[in-house]
Structure 1
Amino acid sequence: MKYSLMAASIIFGLSGQAIAATYKLTELPTSDIGKMHYVTDVNESGDAIGRVTGLFNLPVDISYIDFQDNSITSYYNSYKDILEDRDETISFTLDDIENGNALSTDSEAHNFMLGYLSSGTQSASAEFQKISSVAGLEFTGTSVNLVDIFDIESPDYAGLTRSVSNAMTAVAADGTVVGWGSAPFKKITFTPEGESEEKTYFVRDWHARGIVISPGGKRVVLEPAFTEYGGYSIASDITLTDEGNYLVVGQASVGLSENSQTTITDNCDDKDEPEAVCIWRQGRGVYDLRAYQWTLDKDFNVIDTKDLGIGLERKDDEDNPFYSSAYAINKAGIAVGRSRVRIDDSLKAYEEPGYYQDGQFFTLREHDDFYQSGYALDINDSNVIVGYVGRQNQGTLFDVNGFYYDMNDKTLVEIPSYFSGSDTHVRDINNAGYMVGDGETEKNVSNSRSEAFMYKIGDEKLTNINDLLPCKSDEFPYTVSEAIRITDDNTIYAVATKTVTKLDSFGNPDKDSDGNEASESVVVPVVLTKTGSTELSECVAPETETYERQSASLSWLSLLALPLLWVRRRRQK
């Protein structure tokens, strides 16, 4: 399904401001299916992928819900109290939802039910509907294609189940895409042993599967090595080799530890609850997970699979799962990621960034601090690895610093930050040695603020990408918050924030009791292209942006929304 372009390219007149900007910002197309749009990867030809979150008109199944149960009546009363504290009046009753048409006509009632289903107790229980507010995107010039990887039509309501994860993670030089998704939940009934009444449960067949999607639409599921109890696999990156093969890396289940097997044997007996419910509750952490590689030929046949290794060996008295993961791979077949490692001969395992070669994991630095960890997120074709590392500082604080590591001289260099103590994340590096990411520009505030940067190996400071753009104004409302990808010609793909009219859970303008429209900050995908200018605008510092809520609608996402795991990746160089 295609959606028309909502935001056209931003074209500036020949003002002094526009001439001075060294980069031009253009919004990528967005859909009308949800609020927040992101770009997650792009290749050198400009084939881009992403995701949209905050989906409108999410389906809510109430057929199994007991509206007299204390969990929903207590949630309703708390919701009502919050509104009354703000001198606002709730617009619906529980009876309006159960017996009326409030769910289809009242966005506040719809928002309430989404919040209830995603709150802590309900989201952790298999007796309630599972909803995932995300879809994958393929950008196609002036429009986008929606990609729902493993979702299916629901037997209980019109449309897809909207119960799955959809992660579009990387795109190869020829437009081949990889990603991963979860299996759809299905509603079943089950009678626990010793009871006479059936209960409703929501179950799925497996946690996650990686996938390859060819430019022609062929789909290849990447099976894990271990599939018992469902198994787990994700695809994080893809590279097209000079020989025409595809190298895909990610993570896959390779087995169960002794403790995991004992837990499943003792608890998942299909008596008190369906076995699938018990397995789901254990989560992906029940498996031994490894950085994994799949090799596909030009016809998209899987011709080889490989466990890339882990940074430690299990001792005889260690019964818990261990894991490693791979996030990127270059044309030479060197994969990077993170793995559990061990300090000296202790039993305690830690997570460190590194790379995989010949079935082994190699760390990038000495693990000389009790609390330190990190991610290696990208590697270019010159074997320079980038990512970020962290270590505990002053008790509960954890400082995060971006880095690059040249495999040729075995040196890890932490790059500068915006200020001392600013957390800095490197997301991508091109073959010319330019890196992009995001760093904190404000700290120790209620909501820390980050802005995108560019950094070239050998420079002494970060360049805030917003300094390379026109001054912020009504005509240019953007702040680039995170840079995702930089191509070899230094075109930058990023996400930016801007203020727009607030939309409710149906996608309609949100108004307060006086009929006034509210506003909100949203995320949009953007591409930044060089203008040829080398001058920078001298901008007056804008006032700090604050967004005061004007509508009666409480965001269901803010009410303990269902967490989503995303591996943000890049493409083949």
Structure 2
Amino acid sequence: MKQLHRCVSPICAAVLSALALNSHAALYEVIELTVSEEGEVHTYALDGTSPRSDTGVVVGAGSPIPVFNDNDLDPEDDENYPVSPAPDNSNLGEFDLNGDGDEEDIVDEIEDADLRFMSAYQSKYKALINDSLNEWDRINVWDTINPEDGEYRETTDDYFFGVNDKRVATGYGSSPYYVYKWEDEDTHDETYAILRDFASRAFVYKAGDDPDGERVALYPEEMEFGGVSGAYDISDSNLVAGYASVSLATGAREAHDSCLYDRNLPEVVCDYEANSGQIGLSVYNIEAFIWQLNSDQEVVFTRALGSPIELPAGVDARLVSQAFAANDNGYVVGSADNYVTPDAPSLQLLREYAAIYTEYSPNDVGILDITDRDVYQANSDSPVVSRATGLNNNDIAIGFATRLVNGFWRTKAWYYDINADLPQMVEVPSFFDSSSMTAKSINDHDMIVGEFEWEPRPGNVTRRRHGYLYDIRSETFIDLNDAVGCISDLDIVEANVIRNDGVILATATTQMPLLTVDGDPVFDSNGDPITTTVARAVALKPIDGGDYDNCTDKDEAFPKNEREGAGFGWWLAALPIAVWFRRRYSISR
């Protein structure tokens, strides 16, 4: 395995920066992308355009601050402020406002306006867009105005995942929840259900358009019961990559009919239960999917990208594939269910593997299965063996794969040159042998960013992570916390995007005062303010002529790694950032 080297070449630091090894300096200016006017608890930058950093567009998502209903609940009187479903966890009938089982809190007259205060239906993520590295703006995707109060329903989850240099952004969102009431035919009692029309629908949006204007929907092939679709990336040629429902899975229609006729529920209720997976199975076959747009963001054609598995005649099996990135040469990368042992194929032994879809590329060979089964092995801990997560216009794909190191499964970053004479997964050198790494973005200068474990703790102990930059051409690596002048109040825990102008979009953790629902600070028994850790999207802008700063270990609780290339930051608290990206690259399986 190659040893990592400190970044000593200008191209490794950034496309435009010169490099000199002096202390107490920086290669990057850190620009915090402040929260929107409405405010978010955490913010994440997930893609950006490549023009100069002061004119580019950044897209992402943020978690909104919870809201409360003073009519039904006084947060000062009850710490269990989120309104939660009744103990049977059903969305039919009565609800327990405080989640405490007290019959006095049970109500059965829920209106649409109440749903925004209920933790089960309240928005968890909002789509955010940032023009010229200024303040975030929220974009409502499929949310609608509630006629009862003239306000947005605030019960959707919306995400931006990609944007191209034409400022066309893409992602997906859910439809808003609403209360559906009907009279039971047998008892003649009025009852209700809380429904939504679909769980995810891909969309495109042109930056600068009306934030409340109409979105362009990217529909799936299979729309029965609502269907699902999502978009993760858009190339400069307006090729959108994502996933879509393409057909009904075996048994889906029968389960839906049972809801209709055996349980005697309205069809709209059964449609919702099917789409949300409440009928006991996943109802859709889902495939990697592309939508080609014209210059007016109109869909010209769509195509499901298929599966590397060719099912025998008469065999029904639910296979899932996804597309995570597309380039201007027609290549698409992602993952697909595939055989663990291709030489002895068995539908009982399937895992998720990296896939390169080549149908529209200059070298069309179908679907490339690029994972070496001898090195990256299937295990019972995860259904995912490997994924291709990014792609540049040099036809170099990146991703991650799991392999066994010292008796433990570790995630390893890799890159794959499609045009090489003997293309193969090339593992990015680990910070230390058992360090897990991911690769999340690659620019056209062949620079990769992601996150890595910098802390050599043994076994299955959770290790803290930092964002990194790796240059394929010079085989050099930097811990991004070393490149920003050892800023004391920020810890860069993941790098999500590297643009062609050298700007890196990352996530940093920092401490913020803990506030009450009224916005007042909270103090401990000694009268000291209590702080909490938040995730903040940051842009790392190359400093022309910037210097590299070799930071020292700021956390005395953990010994300094003596291996060359060890740069240490300090963790402020645990955050579910890895969970966020699992969510990004996960659909109902």
TM-score scaled by length of structure 2: 0.76
Partner-residue secondary structure (3-state), 1:207 = coil
Amino acid at match of 1:287: Y
Provide the C-alpha distance between the structure 2 equivalents of 1:119 and 1:375, rounded to a whole number of angstroms. 39
Which residues of 2 match residues 200-349 of structure 1 at below 5 A?
200-217=192-209, 219-241=215-237, 246-269=238-261, 271-272=264-265, 274-282=269-277, 285-316=282-313, 318-342=315-339, 343-344=341-342, 345-347=345-347, 348-349=349-350
2:417 is the alignment partner of 1:406 = yes
Match of 1:33 in 2: 39
For the Cα contact (< 8 Å) 1:328–1:337, is it kept in 2? yes
Match of 1:7 in 2: none
Residues 500 and 365 of structure 1, relative CA distance in 2, 3 Å threshold:
same
Deviation digits for residues 225-271 of structure 1 (CA, Å, limit 9, x no counterpart): 11011001111111122xxxx21111011101223333323335461
Deviation digits for residues 436-459 of structure 1 (CA, Å, limit 9, x no counterpart): 000122355765311000111155
For the Cα contact (< 8 Å) 2:510–2:533, is it kept in 1? yes
Match of 1:364 in 2: 370
Match of 1:21 in 2: 26
**RMSD after superposition:** 3.3
Partner-residue secondary structure (3-state), 1:20 = coil
For the Cα contact (< 8 Å) 1:251–1:326, is it kept in 2? yes
**Runs of 5+ unmatched residues, structure 2:** 1-20, 96-114, 116-120, 361-365, 558-569
For the Cα contact (< 8 Å) 2:203–2:231, is it kept in 1? yes
Provide the C-alpha distance between the structure 1 equivalents of 2:24 and 2:158, rounded to a whole number of angstroms. 40
Match for 1:117 among 75, 84, 97? 84
Match of 2:472 in 1: 457
For the Cα contact (< 8 Å) 1:434–1:490, is it kept in 2? no
Deviation digits for residues 137-189 of structure 1 (CA, Å, limit 9, x no counterpart): 11134322111211122356673222111010111112111111011110122
For the Cα contact (< 8 Å) 1:268–1:278, is it kept in 2? no
More helix by share: 1
1:362 to partner: Cα distance: 1.3
For the Cα contact (< 8 Å) 2:325–2:391, is it kept in 1? yes
1:506 to partner: Cα distance: 5.0
Deviation digits for residues 89-146 of structure 1 (CA, Å, limit 9, x no counterpart): xxxxxxxx8x77514xx3x73x6232x6289964x74656512222111113432211
Partner-residue secondary structure (3-state), 2:466 = strand
Match of 1:139 in 2: 130
Amino acid at match of 1:440: E
Match of 2:67 in 1: 58
For the Cα contact (< 8 Å) 2:470–2:477, is it kept in 1? yes
For the Cα contact (< 8 Å) 2:494–2:508, is it kept in 1? yes
Match of 1:86 in 2: none
**Runs of 5+ unmatched residues, structure 1:** 1-15, 61-96, 550-554, 569-573
1:421 to partner: Cα distance: 1.9
1:462 to partner: Cα distance: 3.5
TM-score scaled by length of structure 1: 0.78
Deviation digits for residues 339-365 of structure 1 (CA, Å, limit 9, x no counterpart): 111233212222111211228321112
Provide the C-alpha distance between the structure 2 equivalents of 1:387 and 1:451, rounded to a whole number of angstroms. 17
1:484 to partner: Cα distance: 0.9
1:296 to partner: Cα distance: 1.3
Residues 204 and 430 of structure 1, relative CA distance in 2, 3 Å threshold:
same
Amino acid at match of 1:175: R
Amino acid at match of 2:417: D
Moved more, 325-334 or 42-51: 42-51
Residues 367 and 462 of structure 1, relative CA distance in 2, 3 Å threshold:
same
For the Cα contact (< 8 Å) 1:165–1:564, is it kept in 2? no
Provide the C-alpha distance between the structure 1 equivalents of 2:183 and 2:583, rounded to a whole number of angstroms. 32
2:58 is the alignment partner of 1:48 = yes
Provide the C-alpha distance between the structure 1 equivalents of 2:392 and 2:85, rounded to a whole number of angstroms. 40
Moved more, 319-328 or 278-287: 278-287
Match of 2:437 in 1: 424
Match for 2:515 among 503, 514, 517? 503
Partner-residue secondary structure (3-state), 2:510 = strand
1:391 to partner: Cα distance: 3.6
Deviation digits for residues 451-495 of structure 1 (CA, Å, limit 9, x no counterpart): 00011115556421111121243xxx1111110111223221111
For the Cα contact (< 8 Å) 1:401–1:415, is it kept in 2? yes
Residues 113 and 194 of structure 1, relative CA distance in 2, 3 Å threshold:
farther
Match of 1:469 in 2: 484
Amino acid at match of 2:440: R
Identical amino acids, percent of aligned pairs: 24
